[in-house]
Chain A
Amino acid sequence: EVQLVESGGGLVQPGGSLRLSCVASGFTFSNSWMTWVRQAPGKGLEWVANIKEDGSVKNYLDSVEVRFTISRDNAKNSLYLQMNSLRAEDSAVYYCTRDRVCNTFDYWGQGTLVTVSS
């Protein structure tokens, strides 16, 4: 059974930092592009960042590029999102997803909620 389990969300003040984690099982993580997708309350889905199988290529949403860092540890079947200088507009449920090919997201985690507020 495929599982993606996110953790690390919570309440943080503007300007603060959080590190999200996602542990994968049930598929070959090391052969998969992985993507973070977020959804602000009551809003639609927003692609945030992705990373190639070996971590050599990373892409970011323009508004997060200098503040967020995506990384992975294939030995631990884990995906990460380091989020710095957080803003209120970063408040959202963050989903870890597997990109089957070319923006086709076949596996999704349950999501972890990030709230940026003073």
Chain B
Amino acid sequence: QSALTQPRSVSGSPGQSVTISCTGTSSDVGYYNYVSWYQQHPGKAPKLIIYDVSERPSGVPDRFSGSKSGNTASLTVSGLQAEDEADYYCCSYAARGAFGGGTKLTVL
């Protein structure tokens, strides 16, 4: 069982914004700024889209942003596009199991 809790699913219409939460503890998310987010399309390998809470790797659109407050990290996808429909996983240093359970983002 993942130590990081994510909602099972979120949804939004094209152009809207959605936020996915990732709740840990004061020993992992709340303590370290090593929170990362991964996007996974069906049948594909995960892809790093956010690291160090809010940094974006080269090539990741700025529609993707990350933040943290207390023991909860968040991924916001702005200006939703059809290709954003995927599974999203958070990850934190020191979290038991490292990864959250994943969130399915549906673009309506």
- Please report A residues at the B interface, Cβ cutoff 8 Å: 37, 44-47, 95, 100-106, 108-111
Contact = CB atoms under 8 A, between A and B. Distances in A.
A27 B93 CA distance: 23
Contact of B34 (A44, A47, A102, A108): A102
A109 B46 CA distance: 9
A44 to B, nearest CB: 4
A45 B51 contact: no
Contacts of B102: 44-45
A100 B51 CA distance: 10
- Interface residues on chain B, size class: 20 to 34
B101 A47 contact: no
Given A95-B45, A111-B45, A103 B93 contact: yes
13 contacts: A44-B2, A44-B101, A45-B38, A95-B46, A103-B92, A104-B34, A104-B36, A104-B52, A104-B91, A105-B36, A105-B38, A106-B51, A106-B57
A104 B48 CA distance: 8
Interface in B18-58: 32, 34, 36, 38, 40, 45-48, 51-52, 57
B52 A45 contact: no
A110 B43 CA distance: 9
Interface string B79-108: 000000000010111110111111000000
